[in-house]
Chain A
Amino acid sequence: MLIEMRNIRKVYEQGDSTCEALAGIDLKISQGESVAIMGPSGSGKSTLLNIMGCIDRATEGEYYFDGKEVNDYSDGERAKLRNEYLGFVLQDFALIERYTVKENVILPLKYSKKIKKEAREARIDEVLKLVGIEEKKEQSVLKLSGGQRQRVAIARALVNEAEVLLCDEPTGALDKATGREIVNVFEELNKKGKTIVIVTHDPDVAAECDRVIKIVDGRVE
């Protein structure tokens, strides 16, 4: 099992009031699976994805990634995990806008020794080709359309050979047709063996996945 969560709770404390975003999540995702996470707004989908992506820590519960309990990992170990095993594709792309496409895509490699310096250029070309924007390599991100930006984000998520792509409403900022193209990219990647977790409101996107996990009020329904 690649991802296994047991009784994950997340409580946000704001002053005196607390907000239980996740109220005990149990789930398993195996290698190579594509999973859609759906649910109403505020149900805790992003919170769940953030914990899965080691962006945030659960208040309670166990989270095993590839058999290892990672909730208690140190900051540095979690950063390494994000760098080497996890790729993020977010609704607003999370790109550095003053950078070029290449400068964005190279970021994970800068924090990693996995791919040697000499091989980086070729690796970047490879992933850009995979997402179909190899000719935009030297362009500023600002000049790209939404769909192209999301492709850059996917390229960046893949560049360091991540096992899992964690996507939070990746088509949310795109029109229907462009969103469709992005979903096709995910499908391609899934066929090649990548594990894909997509948080989405769009039933059409969810329909393309192997499985749908429905979250309501911080619980799996």
Chain B
Amino acid sequence: MINNFLFAIDDIFSNYKKFIAGFLQIMVTFIFFAIVASKVKSLFMISYIEKNMVIDNEVYTFMNCIPADIGTVINDEEKRDKLINLWKEVSSDDMLASYGAKIYVADNESKITINDARYAQSGIAKKNSLTADNRSLKLEVTANFFDIFSLKGNFVPEYKEVFSTGEDDGVTPVILGYSFAKIYEIGDSFKDEKDDEYRIIGFLNKDSYYLYPSSLSGEPVDLGGYVIIPAKLDADEATDVCRLIDGIYVISNTPDYCDYVQRRMAEEELFTLDVRSFTYELESGIEYLKDGIKVNGFLGGIVCAFAFMGLVGNLVQYISDYKREFAINMLCGSDKAGIITRIYVQVLLLVIFGIIPTVILYGKSVELMCTVVFAIIFSLGIMAYPLILIRRFTIEEMLKRGTE
């Protein structure tokens, strides 16, 4: 066994150019596969969200709070005041009630640093946010957010009240994604970079998703790595109001309320808002994902087919070149299984090297697991024909010189 492994390594070094070419092909194949897997996963997540969302009517969002506009509004004192006043007017409970609209907030514009050794050592931040820094993703929501997305978990009984009103001692209540459950327990507290204190009042279950629709790319958010705190955006701050406009979701059976806000914003020459329904967002997201699957699947399929044929061709060539050597090894005491091992180890190494970029890109994830399964099947597929070839040969045939 170890022998055949060493022989395989030796053969790779003797044919390293082909090995590198094969590696590149396999690498691209696997990346495409992982991309497709990721989009399929997103589709599943979207349908999961769709199935589990608890809303009687439609959800509307304001889009297009264009950054260029923000600058002109925020930097102009007069406009700034206008914005704050207008927002107070339209977001008042009375106004909402008169339109029969309800709202929830989900704002994920910022990140949070948890100043805690356990957290720093756990590597959670890196894993979840895919950023080099040590911060985790933060989501600021209103308490009804959990109901709307049917988010379940392990919470303190009165978590909704605590979440709406805050703790008496000024500590911010926080609900964490499931990945934090490894290092924390309910009741634990930690501080952020500004030395503000947070107390954990619950953990979400695995498979907690929500949709942040503004991108239209239909990428659902896995809340597993999120730090969720009560929305504390300050309606007296113009920058916060801008984020509110982005992060507010209006539950209503008509777009009237949103149209009204949109009209008022235009009248006051503040923002040009776009109103979109969640249904539209979902559908366009699904379309986008499906297109992505088609395009990537097609390209990946082509690359895969070329890689497959190329690699099988290389293997057949290699076997033909090394036939006599295999036969000599068999004379000296190897069996066919040994020779097959020698060949398969090379394919396996190729596949292992080829999957490394996918590991780097996707980390420990469903996408990676799917790709690993695919890689194993792919490697067996590549081996199929060479295996038949080797099985057919007898030692005396293989000993003969020349090519057939």
Residues of A near any B CB (own CB < 8 A): 46, 50, 55-56, 75-76, 78-80, 82-84, 88, 90, 92, 94-96, 107-108, 110-112, 156, 160
Kindly provide the distance from the CB of B11 to the nearest chain A CB, expressed in whole angstroms. Answer: 11
Which residue of B332, B337, B394, B401 is within 8 Å of A82 (Cβ)?
A: B332
Q: Is A95 within 8 A of B328, CB to CB?
A: yes
A–B complex contacts, Cβ < 8 Å, 28 sampled: A50-B395, A55-B331, A56-B394, A56-B395, A75-B335, A76-B335, A76-B337, A79-B330, A79-B334, A79-B335, A79-B338, A82-B330, A82-B333, A83-B332, A84-B333, A90-B399, A92-B401, A94-B331, A95-B328, A96-B328, A107-B332, A108-B332, A108-B333, A110-B333, A111-B3, A111-B333, A111-B334, A111-B338
Q: Which residues of A contact B401 (CB under 8 A)?
A: 92
Kindly provide the distance from the CB of A154 to the nearest chain B CB, expressed in whole angstroms. Answer: 13
Q: Which residue of A lies closest to B331 (CB)?
A: A88
Q: Is B333 within 8 A of A79, CB to CB?
A: yes
Tell me the total A-B contact number using a CB cutoff of 8 A: 60
Kindly provide the distance from the CB of A64 to the nearest chain B CB, expressed in whole angstroms. Answer: 21
Q: Is B331 within 8 A of A82, CB to CB?
A: yes
Q: How far is the CA of A92 from the CA of B399 in the complex (A)?
A: 9
B329 at the interface (CB under 8 A from A): yes
Q: Which residue of B lies closest to A110 (CB)?
A: B3
Q: Is B333 within 8 A of A83, CB to CB?
A: yes
CB-based closest 7 A-B pairs? A83-B333, A111-B333, A79-B335, A107-B332, A108-B332, A55-B395, A75-B335
Q: Is the interface of B mostly helix, strand, loop or mixed?
A: helix
B336 at the interface (CB under 8 A from A): yes
Q: How far is the CA of A95 from the CA of B324 in the complex (A)?
A: 9
B325 at the interface (CB under 8 A from A): yes
A sample of 15 more A-B contacts (CB under 8 A), given A79-B335, A83-B333, is A55-B395, A55-B396, A56-B395, A56-B396, A75-B337, A82-B333, A90-B399, A92-B401, A94-B324, A94-B331, A110-B333, A111-B329, A111-B332, A111-B333, A111-B334
Q: Which residues of A contact B325 (CB under 8 A)?
A: 96
Per-position binary interface string of chain B over residues 196-238, scored 1 when its CB falls under 8 Å from any chain A CB and 0 otherwise: 0000000000000000000000000000000000000000000
Q: How far is the CA of A111 from the CA of B324 in the complex (A)?
A: 17
Kindly provide the distance from the CB of B266 to the nearest chain A CB, expressed in whole angstroms. Answer: 80
**Contacts A56-B395, A56-B396, A94-B399: A112 and B328 contacting too (C-beta < 8 A)?**
no
Per-position binary interface string of chain B over residues 306-318, scored 1 when its CB falls under 8 Å from any chain A CB and 0 otherwise: 0000000000000
Residue of B324, B325, B396 with most chain A CB atoms under a 10 A cut-off = B396
Q: Which residues of B contact A46 (CB under 8 A)?
A: 396
Q: How far is the CA of A180 from the CA of B329 in the complex (A)?
A: 28
Q: Is B332 within 8 A of A50, CB to CB?
A: no
Q: How far is the CA of A26 from the CA of B70 in the complex (A)?
A: 100
